């Protein structure tokens, strides 16, 4: 067994899973040896946005867990538990898209924090707009 495997952790909702999500996870995985993904729970989404995601947490989690470069997933139950999750999964790197730049800098004392450029011209809301325009 290889020692000192680098563990990458990222968080997201991954609703209507799309190409931007895929590229983010693919690039995150390349930064280390193992990728752990925290999927925000339905309840957490409701607290944040006052609405539930279109796909439920089971569906969202199942899709992300089935990706070949994702090692393990867990449900993110609270925004205040980030530190707990980073410690629990012994993360070496926390990765987020650059829409979160600066928001997770407080964790730099625990691990490396990397903000990756978002994939342009795609998002869950943009996809919904495409569907509305086309049908």
Interface with ligand C2G, residue 40, by CB under 6 A: yes
- Min dist CB 105 to ligand C2G, Å, is 14
- Min dist CB 129 to ligand C2G, Å, is 13
Residues 63-92 that bind ligand C2G (CB under 6 A): 76, 79
- Min dist CB 51 to ligand C2G, Å, is 12
**32 close to 6: Cβ distance less than 8 angstroms:** yes
Buried residues in 61-81 as b, exposed as e (16+ CB within 10 A): bebbeebeebbebbebeeeee
Distance CA(6)–CA(40), nearest Å, equals 23
**6 close to 33: Cβ distance less than 8 angstroms:** yes
Interface with ligand C2G, residue 56, by CB under 6 A: no
Q: Which residues of the shown chain bind ligand C2G in the complex (CB under 6 A)? A: 11-15, 20-21, 24, 40, 76, 79, 96-97, 99, 118-119, 122-123
């Amino acid at each position: 067994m290889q020692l000192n495997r680098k563990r990458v952790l990222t968080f997201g909702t991954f609703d209507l899973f799309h190409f931007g999500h895929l590229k983010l996870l693919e690039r995150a995985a390349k930064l280390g040896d193992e990728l752990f993904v925290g999927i925000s729970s339905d309840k957490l989404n409701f607290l944040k946005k006052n609405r539930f995601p279109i796909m439920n947490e089971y569906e969202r989690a199942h899709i992300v867990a089935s990706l070949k470069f994702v090692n393990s997933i867990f449900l993110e139950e609270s925004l205040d538990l980030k530190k707990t999750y980073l410690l629990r999964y012994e993360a070496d790197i926390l990765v987020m898209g650059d829409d979160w730049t600066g928001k997770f800098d407080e964790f730099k004392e625990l691990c490396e924090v990397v903000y990756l450029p978002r994939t342009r011209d795609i998002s869950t809301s943009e996809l919904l707009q495409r569907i509305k325009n086309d049908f």
